[in-house]
Amino acid sequence: MSDLVVRELCKTYPNVRQDLVVLDHISLELNRGDNLAIIGPSGAGKSTLLQILGTLDQPTSGTVEVAGLNPFSLGEVEQARFRNQHIGFIFQDHHLLPQWNVLENALLPCLAFGRAKPDQIERAKQLLDRVGLSDRLTHLPSQLSGGERERVAVARALMLRPTMILADEPTGNLDSDNASIIGELLLEVPKEQDAMLIVVTHSMELAKRMNRCLELRRGKLTDHPRDDMA
Ligand SMILES: Nc1ncnc2c1ncn2[C@@H]1O[C@H](COP(=O)(O)OP(=O)(O)OP(=O)(O)O)[C@@H](O)[C@H]1O
Ligand SMILES: [Mg+2]
């Protein structure tokens, strides 16, 4: 069985006249080491899908299995543990904690269930070095550029070697140089760690670099032909 199995996933929001169907029986499989881009118009439900895969939101129906586990069958504490262990989320607006410095932000996943161990601090430093921030460890997010903040978010997402990395518009706010650096990292590091990567993006340049590209439109996920990518 694949490391990620999504079956007949639906998400509907109640609406005054007619319910709003955002995800309409979506199925998807992905394995460790694979990467995938999801494109589609604004409002198509890309973030909604990513949030459900990351267990930050609940599906209306359908199932998600990561590494053979259905996170929605777990209790609250177990689900938080599952998220911590299996999911690395890179949000569009990075969600760094403003009062914590770069190193502390990268260590955040380790702090959810206790203190960071020395080897974890070492790993955070290595990852921050990998994203070119070794001389910014004690900077606060407010003392970083947008691209640097996004790179901290990448390091943080990789910290606990998650099974699946979910990135929502990771290059949305970046200039082309920084977008290219983040794109490079997103491709290389999950591969090194044998993780799955799903990237939601409006950038065809980034989408083109992934092994596979799917388009979300009117609730359905379909293969986006490579030839159509300008
Ligand atoms: N809590 C909610 N209640 C009702 N409708 C919602 C809710 N959250 C999202 N929606 C609707 O679901 C649709 C999908 O939203 P989503 O954020 O997933 O789109 P998206 O594809 O990520 O768009 P973008 O490219 O602009 O980020 C939108 O039309 C939005 O209005
Ligand atoms: Mg979105």
194-208 pLDDT, tens digit per residue, is: 999 999 999 999 999
Given a cut of 70, whether residue 153 has pLDDT beyond it is yes
CA-to-CA distance for 198 and 196, rounded, in angstroms? 7
Residue 156 lies in a domain: yes
Q: What is the mean pLDDT of residues 5-14?
A: 97
Tell me if 12 CB under 6 Å of ligand 1: no
Domain-located, residue 32? yes
Contacts of 141 (CB under 8 A, 6+ apart): 94, 96, 97, 98, 100, 102, 105, 149, 152
Model confidence at 148: pLDDT above 70: yes
Ion ligand 2 contact residues with beta carbon within 5 A: 47
45 Cβ closer than 6 Å to some ligand 1 atom? yes
For range 1-20, the mean pLDDT = 94
Q: Using the atom order of ligand 1, give the atom closest to the CA of residue 40.
A: 21
In this structure, is residue 125 part of a structural domain? yes
CA distance 134 to 1: 39
The range of the structural domain enclosing residue 158 comes to 4-224
Average pLDDT over residues 76-98: 89
Confirm whether 78 is domain-assigned: yes
- Pair 190, 38: CB distance under 8 Å: no
**Confidence at residue 111, expressed as pLDDT on a 0 to 100 scale:** 85
Indicate if the pLDDT at residue 227 is higher than 90: no
Q: Region 3-31: what's the mean pLDDT? A: 95
**What average pLDDT does the segment 160-185 reach?**
88
Ligand 1 site, residue 112, Cβ cutoff 6 A = no
Nearest to 98 by CA among 146, 140, 139: 140
Any atom of ligand 1 within 6 Å of the Cβ of 20: yes
**Residue 19 beta carbon below 6 angstroms from any ligand 1 atom:** no
Please say if the pLDDT value at position 230 is more than 60.
Answer: no
* Per-residue confidence band for 23, with pLDDT thresholds at 50, 70 and 90: very high
Report the mean per-residue pLDDT for the chain.
92
**In a mutational test of the pocket of ligand 1, which residue from 17, 42, 48, 50 has the highest number of ligand atoms less than 8 Å from its CB?**
48
Q: What is the mean pLDDT of residues 88-101?
A: 88
Look at residue 229 and tell me if it is in a domain: no
Whether 57 is covered by a domain: the verdict is yes
145 has a pLDDT exceeding 70: yes
Give the pLDDT confidence score for residue 147 in this predicted structure: 87
Using CB atoms within 10 A of its CB, is residue 23 exposed (0-12), middle (13-18) or buried (19+)? Answer: buried
Q: Domain total for the chain?
A: 1
Q: pLDDT-based confidence at 60, cuts 50/70/90?
A: very high
Residue 90: CATH number of its domain = 3.40.50.300
Residue 230 domain flag: no
Give the pTM. Answer: 0.92
In a domain, 214, yes or no: yes
| Confidence check: pLDDT of 228 > 80 | no
Residues 144-156, mean pLDDT to the nearest whole number? 91
